[in-house]
Amino acid sequence: MSHQGVCVFGEWTGEAIHQVTYELLNEGRRLADELGVSLSVIFPGPPEAESEAQGLIEFGADRVFMALDPRLANFLDDVYSRIVAKVLEDSKPEIMLFGATAVGQALAPRVAGLLRLGLTAHCIAFEIRQDDRALIQIRPSFGENVMARIISLTKPQMATVRPGVFRPAKRTAGRTGEVIHVELNPELLESKIQVLERQKAPKKTVDLTKAKVIVAGGRGLGNKKVFERLFELAELLKGAVGATRPVCHIGWVSEDHMIGVSGVSVSPKLYMGFGISGALHHVVGLQGIETMVAINIDPEAPLMQRADIAVVGDAREILPRLIQRLKDLKGVEHESRE
Amino acid sequence: MRIMCCLKPVPKPGTVKVDPETHTLKREGSDLEMNPYDRYALEAAVTLAEETRGSVVAVSMGPPNAEHILIEAFSYGADEVVLLSDRVFAGADTLATSYVLAKAAETLGPFDLIVCGKVSVDGETAQVGPEVAAWLGWPSVIWVKKIRPAEDGLELVRVIDDSQEKLKVALPLVITIENEANDPRPPSIKRLLKADELEIKVLGAEDLSAEAKYLGLEGSPTRVLDVYTPEYKGERRVLSGPVDQVVDSLVSILKERGLV
């Protein structure tokens, strides 16, 4: 067997190791154990990241390929992709996983292009095909509203994984493994990209990933004015407003509110979807929700089939009525306290 | 600055057709439109061409019924339009698609810059831009928010998680554009009136000197095995009836669960 082993990309944020790396280590460990092979990490970063990179062994890695240089303190698309491609060519793993982060999505396709490899974006699950050890990569497919099972005919079989899909690996203190320092010659480190300035990005208007309650709206809400009433409901429930992609596209709300493949993954206790049909692009962003409520005029809509509570009715009518009802309720509570 | 802008024909929502055997999108016979994200790429390309007295070649890979997308691109300011169309391109995944676009850049070039949208609304992989760069051996920067011509290159702003970076990147270069980067202009009526005279160049595999092993389904390393509809188990309560009644029931269930 020419290619063997599972490998994941270790992502440095400039201050720490990105959370998704621990999620990749957990799923990577599971795949490696099922295949009976070792798990490696490719970690480019500045020298000061060394001890944290070494710590990845305690999170399940058997080997850490470290490419350490002060010039790797910032993510450089061309240099990082060259380094990852070189380690993959030398170590020949059968599987390579990246987080579908900003860095992972810039890096993975460059590596795929350099090595002429298949790459499956935004996977949400993996399976091993028993007869030939092929990695079955599962992701939502096109506008079909189905999940697709995909294989790669090239090795390593590469995929990016949505952050928040897998649980992070747990630490086992004292776990041992090997550190391999990647030889970095000047050509490998030569970049056409120069970072002039790095600063905190303007804060997103909303962070849905931490919300306990999310009230989300889709095109079924009819227009922007009705959609905006979701903010009133969110305030009453101490929650945040989520949205589907089409609604962000037509400008009812900014993309910071987008849940789904090109948006964020969320796991609130309560999720309410108003006039959302439940396209997979949106639904894959809903993870481990305790109570899912769908409000739709069409009882057959996919989100209605999936919800814990399916409310059959026009979301445009139900939303204002629900706001009023909750306001009345608060008023009553308020009075009784007085 | 000579710029190539890649525009993807995507099926209009609700008209998606899929080949039942390969599970790849059938762009022929679907109603196609320009990938909405690519409008921002085109606007960025046209603006930059105006600022640098350059020109924009708009390129689409797709079936003949994608031609109207290129006419639209002309109305938004593209100087030349090219359709990359050949039966052997069919069934291409991102690697095989980016190969054709890279060959087009070589054939129609030299270019200083290739501009793509940040992602397509159908495949939603965001892979083609960086893959084109890799085929050409060029640097790439994705999800660019701001662009400014600088000496020997471009100054770009991009966001990685919580950090915003200002970069200086040498040309030639591939970038993908964030939709907050600009506000696309309306179509020019003057240009639309001239659309009849527009020459839509059509190039196939031979015109691009493309190697068959990298094209279409054969050149695509990924295969869709099958598709399935996810099933969700669990208890489901259905509330229906007059609005007031369902809202009351909903509120009491949420109260029972301690959610309101």
The ipTM (two decimal places) reads 0.90
Least confident of A28-42, B38-52, B149-163, B231-245: B231-245
Has residue B125 been placed in a domain?
yes
Chains A and B form CB pairs within 8 A to the count of: 244
Of A189, A218, A253, the position where a domain reaches its end is A189
Does any domain span residue B30?
A: yes
Q: State how far residue A200 is from chain B, nearest Cα, in angstroms.
A: 5
What's the pLDDT at B236?
86
Classify residue A96: in a domain, yes or no. yes
> What does pTM read for this prediction?
0.87
CATH number at residue B78: 3.40.50.620
Q: What is the mean pLDDT of residues A177-184?
A: 97
Q: Kindly state whether residue A201 falls inside one of the protein's structural domains.
A: no
Using a CB-CB cut-off of 8 Å, the residues of chain A touching B224 are 141, 148-150
Closest CA to B129 of B144, B113, B140, B145: B140
A interface mutation test: which of B39, B95, B124 has the most A CBs within 10 A?
B124
- Same structural domain, A232 and A311: yes
Contacts of A280 in chain B (CB under 8 A): 230
Give the span between the Cα atoms of B187 and B185, in whole angstroms: 7
Q: Is residue A146's pLDDT more than 60?
A: yes
Q: Are residues A26 and A168 in the same domain?
A: yes
A111, A143, A149: residue with CB nearest B122 = A143
Q: Of A195-204, B143-152, B222-231, which one has max mean pLDDT?
A: B143-152
Residue span of the structural domain in which A240 resides: 208-337
Quote the CA–CA distance of A212 and A214 in Å, as a whole number: 7
Residue at A194 is within a domain: no
**Does a structural domain hold residue A251?**
yes
Domain that holds residue B204: 2-214
pLDDT score recorded for residue B112: 98
Mean predicted confidence (pLDDT) in A72-100 = 97
B230 within domain boundaries: no
Is the domain of A23 the same as that of A136? yes
Which CATH number do you get for residue A30? 3.40.50.620
CB contact under 8 A, A117 and B236: no
CA B239 to chain A, closest CA, distance in angstroms equals: 5
In a domain, B104, yes or no: yes
pLDDT band at A287; cut points 50, 70, 90: confident
Q: How far apart are the C-alpha atoms of A256 and A92, rounded to whole Å? A: 39
Of B95, B159, B257, the CB nearest to A116: B95
Instruction: Tell me: do A128 and A241 sit in the same domain.
Output: no
Q: What is the mean pLDDT of chain B?
A: 92
- Average pLDDT for A89-116: 97
The CA-to-CA distance between both ends of chain B, in Å, stands at 58
What does the pLDDT read at residue A337? 54
> pLDDT tens-digit profile of A292-320?
999 999 999 989 988 999 999 999 999 99
Residues A231 and A317 in one domain: yes
Residue range B17-41: average pLDDT? 81
Predicted pLDDT of residue B232: 67
pLDDT, tens digit, 9 for 90 and up, residues A185-244:
999 999 999 999 998 877 777 889 889 999 999 999 999 999 999 999 999 999 999 999
Cβ distance A117 to B221 less than 8 Å, yes or no, reads yes
Rounded mean pLDDT of A130-151?
Answer: 86
B226 touches A at CB < 8 Å: yes
Judged against a pLDDT cut of 80, whether residue B28 lies above it is answered with no
A-chain residues near B95 (CB < 8 A): 112-113, 116-119
- Chain B contacts in chain A segment 237-276 (CB below 8 A): 237, 245-246, 249, 255, 261-262, 269-270
> Both A76 and A221 in a single domain?
no
Tell me the shortest Cα–Cα distance from A175 to chain B, in angstroms: 31
Q: Are residues A171 and A70 in the same domain?
A: yes
Q: Does B21 touch chain A (CB under 8 A)?
A: no
Please provide the size of chain A in residues: 338
> What DSSP character marks residue A162?
-
User: Residue B111 falls within a domain, yes or no?
Assistant: yes
The CATH number of residue A332's host domain is: 3.40.50.1220
Query: Contact B16/A142, CB-based, under 8 Å?
Result: yes
Query: Are residue A92 and residue A178 in the same domain, yes or no?
Result: yes
Residue A30: inside a domain, yes or no?
yes
Q: Is residue B255 part of a domain?
A: no
Residue of B nearest to A264 (CA): B161
Please name the residues in contact with A28: beta carbons below 8 A apart, sequence gap of 6 or more: A6, A7, A8, A39, A60, A95, A97
Between the CA of residue B62 and those of A229, B83, B95, B205, B216, what are the distances in Å?
41, 7, 15, 12, 12
Tell me how many domains chain B contains.
Answer: 1
> Does A222 fall in a domain?
yes
Task: Identify from B8, B26, B140, B146 which residue to disrupt to test chain A contact, counting A C-beta atoms within 10 A and taking the largest count.
Answer: B140
Scanning A22-51 for CB atoms below 8 A from B yields: none
Q: Is B229 on the interface with A (CB under 8 A)?
A: yes
Domain-located, residue A92: yes
pLDDT higher than 70, residue A333: no
Percentage helix, strand, coil for chain A under 3-state DSSP, each rounded to 5: 40, 30, 35
User: Which residue, A155, A189, A223, sits at the end of a domain?
Assistant: A189
Q: Is B36 on the interface with A (CB under 8 A)?
A: yes
Q: Provide the 3-class DSSP secondary structure of residue A12.
A: strand
Distance in Å, alpha carbon of A194 to nearest chain B alpha carbon: 5
Could you tell me if residue B135 is inside a domain?
A: yes
Distance, CA of B139 to CA of B167 (rounded, Å): 12
Kindly state whether residue A141 falls inside one of the protein's structural domains.
Answer: yes
Among candidates A105, A145, A199 on the partner chain, residue whose Cβ is nearest the Cβ of B164: A199
CA distance A245 to chain B (A): 9
Please give the residue of chain A at the shortest CA–CA distance from B15.
A143
A146 plus A248 within the same structural domain: no
Q: Is B71 on the interface with A (CB under 8 A)?
A: no
**Are A86 and A149 contained in the same domain?**
yes
Q: Which of A132, A158, A189 is the last residue of a domain?
A: A189
Do A111 and A79 share a domain, yes or no? Answer: yes
Q: What total number of domains does chain A contain?
A: 2
Q: Is the pLDDT of residue B181 over 60?
A: yes
Q: Is residue B39 part of a domain?
A: yes
Q: What residues of A are in contact with residue B36 (Cβ under 8 Å)?
A: 249
**B219 in contact with chain A, both atoms CB, cutoff 8 A:** no
Give contacts of B164 with chain A, Cβ < 8 Å.
Answer: 198-202
Q: Is A117 on the interface with B (CB under 8 A)?
A: yes
Q: Which long-range contacts (CB under 8 A, 24 or more apart) does A129-133 make?
A: A133/A35, A133/A94
| pLDDT 10s digits, B73-114 | 999 999 999 999 999 999 999 999 999 999 999 999 999 999
Using the predicted structure, report yes or no on whether residue A2 has a pLDDT greater than 80. Answer: yes
Assess B20–A contact: CB distance below 8 Å, yes or no. no
The rounded Cα B22 to chain-centroid distance in angstroms is 22
Q: What is the largest CA-CA distance in chain A?
A: 76
Instruction: For residue B154, report the phi and psi dihedrals to the nearest 5 degrees.
Output: -130, 145
Q: State the average pLDDT over residues B43-52.
A: 97
Neighbouring-strand partners of residue A128: A135
CB count within 10 Å of CB A169 equals: 22
Q: What is the pLDDT of residue A334?
A: 62
Q: Verify whether the Cβ–Cβ distance A146 to B229 is below 8 Å.
A: yes
Tens digits of per-residue pLDDT, A19-48? 999 999 999 999 999 999 999 999 999 999
Residue B198: predicted pLDDT: 93
What's residue A332's pLDDT?
Answer: 67
Torsion angle of the four alpha carbons B205, B208, B213, B217, in this order, in degrees rounded to the nearest 10: -50
